[in-house]
A and B are shown apart, each in its own frame.
Chain A
Amino acid sequence: MDDMEDTTIFSTLKSFKSLISGPDHSLLETEPAYGRSDLQKLYTKRVELEEAAERVRSHTSLLQLTQEKQQMELSHKRARIELEKEAHSSSRDLQREIDRNRELLLKIRRLEEREEKANQALNEQMENNKALKRNLEELHKKANVKDSKLTEADQMISELKDETRRLNQKIQIQESKFSTQNLEIQALQEQLDVQRKKYQDVSQRYQNLQSSHSISTESELKMKELERRLALQEQDSVIVKNMKSEMVRLPELEREIKRLREENCFLRETKENNSLLKEETEGLRKKLERVERVMEEKLKAELEKEKLEQELQAWENIGQAAGLNIRKPEDLSREVIQIQQRELNLKQQNYTLNSRWTESLLNFTSWKTGVLELKLVLLYVGQERDGMRAILESYDSELATSEYSPQLMFRVKEAEDMLQKVQAHNTEMETQLSKAQEEAGSFKLQVQMMTAELEALKEQHVSNAEKNTLATAEEVSSLRQKIEELEAERQRLEEQNNILEMRLERHNLQGDYDPVKTKVIHLQMNPTSIAKQQHAEEVEQLRLECQLLRDRIRKIEAGGGVTKDDTTLIIPPSQEILDLRKQMESAELKNQRLKEVFQKKIQEFRTACYVLTGYQIDITVENQYRLTSVYAEHMEDSLLFKSTGPVGSGSMQLLETDFSRTLTGLVDLHLFHQKSIPVFLSAVTIELFSRQTVT
């Protein structure tokens, strides 16, 4: 297969080679002079072959396109002819209709005089008019359809023309490109040769340069090394000089070192000694301090000892001075206790003595008073005695003369009695005194006893009081516990109270109220209720709108699905919709304008046909044409033709109608024998005209 293709390609190549001029041959011949390899040749051949193939392909495509173009032109011509025929026929129909209209108008004018017939005719005419209008509309529709087809055909034609133009242009461009490319290839090849020569020269030079460059770098390296070595050697020489100078100094340094070492050892020893000595001194200092302290303490102790000895001696002297048998402090304490006891006893005695003394004083005072009384009595007695004596003396004086002796004796007896009485009184007084003294002593004893009892009672009372305090302490503790409990409860209640007050405050802040005392009122027509109503109404309205829109959308979706054949309904974006709508509107406008234009044209044409040919041609059914003559006697008189054969061929056949039956002679003559429809039609016209003019 490949061989076959190669052979065909080679054949085509040869043919094209013959077309291409000599320079190619020369090029091909001169090629081996450069010493090309077989591969290069094959490559060039292949390139040329590919180019040839491309040319072939382009040619074939060109031929195909020309063929298609011819076919298209043919089809276009056919379509045009058909449309022109249709246009003609439709124009003829139009003319006929117009002529008819005129005739009818004339008839109307004629029949106006006859009222009944005229009205009937008028009605008939009206009905006919309506029928005609309907026909007109149908024709318009058909004309529109044809018009659209025409426009489509025109568009197709224009598109095809454009395509052919484009293809021609492409072919031209490709041819030009091909030629330019060939020229470029030649130029590039020449340049390539030149460049290769240059490259060889340049490469040689570059190699020379590189070798020289490498040599130079090597020499540079050597130079650097030598320089470095030189520098090192200089450094070494400098170092050697220093070393020599240092070497000279070496023995001195050694001597110094020895000396310093000895010093070091010495210093270390001294340092150790120093430290030891320091420690010793510190220890001695501390000892000294301690000793000094001890000495002070010793002095103090000695002083104290002397004092104490003195005191002891004094104590001992006391003992000796006191005359007591004191050797030890216990004796002293015993003595002291004894002395204290004696003291107590003495105090007691003193107390008793004091009490006795006071009693005795009291007695004394009482005795004194008694004595005073006695003295008074005595005085009285004395005074009595004196008086008595005076009396006696007086009596004696008197009795000197008379008998004194019995009176005197009587008075003496009375005085003696008195004396005895006084003596008795004294003894009684003394006895009373002694009794009083005894009573006083007994009272004293009683007092003493009472005081002792009192003391005893006091002691008892104290003990009782202690017992009482114990009892009261228990009561007090219980009372205190109660108090504490009550305090705790009080605090708890206070806290609760605080919490409740806070809660109440909080509730008050939140707006709580006591329903018993307060009530809450507001206006019936308040903004909140109004706003709520409005809100609810708005919501309702929005819901209704939503529902309406949803229904609309459903309808649109349903309607869209019916007209389109697509199963998936993709709603195009609004932009496209607007563009499409605009396009639609513009297309509709165009359509309308075309319709109007077509209507006008077709009307003109039809009227012209009607006037010129004398027949009004209507298309009743597809491929059927009804011809009505100008001079027809009745409205229904018409000839029916049917087109047979392929579209555009123009072969027609007459169909049987009532009117055609009346024209059988003409039919036979012109159609069957002469086979000419125009002659027949003109014969019919003449016939009808003749009929008309006669009547």
Chain B
Amino acid sequence: MSKTLKGITLKGSAELVAEFFSFGINSILYQRGIYPAETFTRVTQYDMSLQLTTDAKLKNYLTNVISQLKEWLFDCTVQKLVVVITCLETNEVLERWQFDLECDKTAKEGSAPREKSIKAIQEEIRSVIRQITATVTFLPLLETACAFDLLIYTDKDLEVPEQWEESGPQLIDQSEEVRLRSFTTTIHKVNSMVAYKRTNST
């Protein structure tokens, strides 16, 4: 609803960001081969073709996390979202896709919508997702079987819901970091970066 109107409200911004995360995480899973490519189907979003998973369990998990994230985005209590890729055999963290969130707390529910066109935001999101696809060229190959996890950095005083638990930050030992593009809806700003384990040859 808020998208069709001119301007971005807090709710609309939260929805946009959650949508971006949903597609972004799917892209990452597809590009890095965490799940086999045949379990993905092509969809069109942001004027480009993206891959979306058809695995029911995975879909369920992602919808759970994204819906909870949307609430927290609305409350401006979430600081980061991290996609952690772990090697199953050695239990080592191989990659970390980190998305920093900066929320403008002055934009509360009743305040006037901000002037920024949906197109511009979508353009920015498109460039971010394109960049995520491009990073695959320099990231080291994931040769072993891997699994992923979604971590959310929130304010300390946030009430943790039932199915959630606290965990460690799951940092990479000896990592290389690359900062990617960011996009902003004027209420939420999303900075992207990827950290990967330094391979022995480099």
Q: Interface residues, chain A, CB within 8 Å of chain B?
A: 506, 508-513, 515-532, 535
Contacts and interface: CB of A to CB of B under 8 A. Distances in A.
Given A510-B175, A532-B147, A517 B152 contact: no
A511 B166 contact: no
A506 B178 CA distance: 10
B202 to A, nearest CB: 17
A282 B180 CA distance: 82
Contacts of A515: 156
A516 B156 CA distance: 7
16 contacts: A506-B177, A509-B193, A510-B177, A511-B98, A513-B79, A521-B151, A521-B165, A521-B167, A523-B65, A525-B61, A526-B150, A527-B148, A527-B149, A528-B148, A531-B147, A532-B147
Contacts of B58: 527
Contacts of B145: 531, 535
B172 A517 contact: no
Given A520-B153, A523-B150, A527-B147, A511 B164 contact: no
Given A509-B177, A518-B156, A527-B147, 17 more contacts: A509-B98, A509-B179, A511-B96, A511-B169, A515-B156, A516-B156, A519-B153, A519-B158, A521-B164, A521-B166, A523-B64, A524-B164, A525-B61, A525-B163, A526-B149, A527-B148, A528-B147
Contact of B61 (A513, A521, A523): A523
Contacts of A529: 149
A528 B169 CA distance: 14
Contacts of A506: 177
A507 to B, nearest CB: 9
B13 interface: no
Interface in B154-173: 154-156, 158, 160, 163-172
Nearest to A516: B156
B176 to A, nearest CB: 10
Interface stretch (B36-44, B82-90, B119-127): B82-90
Nearest to B167: A522
A506 to B, nearest CB: 7
A493 to B, nearest CB: 27
Nearest to A508: B100
Given A509-B193, A532-B147, A520 B64 contact: no
Contact of A521 (B84, B91, B96, B160): B160
B156 A519 contact: yes
A532 B61 contact: no
Contacts of B169: 511-513, 520
B152 A522 contact: yes
Interface of B: 58, 61, 64-65, 79-80, 82, 84, 86, 88-89, 91, 96, 98, 100, 145, 147-156, 158, 160, 163-172, 175, 177, 179, 193, 195
Contacts of A511: 80, 82, 96, 98, 169-171, 195
A524 B165 contact: yes
Contact of B166 (A512, A520, A527): A520
A518 B154 contact: yes
A506 B163 CA distance: 32
A272 to B, nearest CB: 82
Contact of A513 (B88, B96, B153): B153
A527 B56 CA distance: 12
A531 B29 CA distance: 15
A239 to B, nearest CB: 84
A193 to B, nearest CB: 86
Contacts of A531: 88, 145, 147
The 9 closest A-B pairs by CB, nearest first: A531-B147, A528-B149, A509-B177, A528-B147, A535-B88, A526-B149, A521-B164, A522-B151, A518-B153
Contacts of B96: 510-511
A526 B193 contact: no
Contact of B155 (A518, A522, A526, A530): A518
Nearest to B158: A519
A535 B150 CA distance: 19
Contact of A520 (B86, B88, B152): B152
Contacts of B88: 531-532, 535
A524 B163 contact: yes
Contact of B165 (A510, A513, A522): A522
A506 B193 CA distance: 11
Nearest to B179: A509
Contacts of B64: 523
A509 B178 CA distance: 8
B167 A528 contact: no
A509 B99 CA distance: 10
A520 B177 CA distance: 20
Nearest to B178: A509
Contacts of A518: 79-80, 153-156
Contacts of B156: 515-519
A567 to B, nearest CB: 42
Q: Name the residue in B65, B86, B147, B175 with the highest tally of chain A Cβ atoms < 10 Å from its Cβ.
A: B147
Contact of A519 (B61, B100, B154): B154
A531 B149 CA distance: 10
Nearest to A519: B156
Contacts of B158: 519
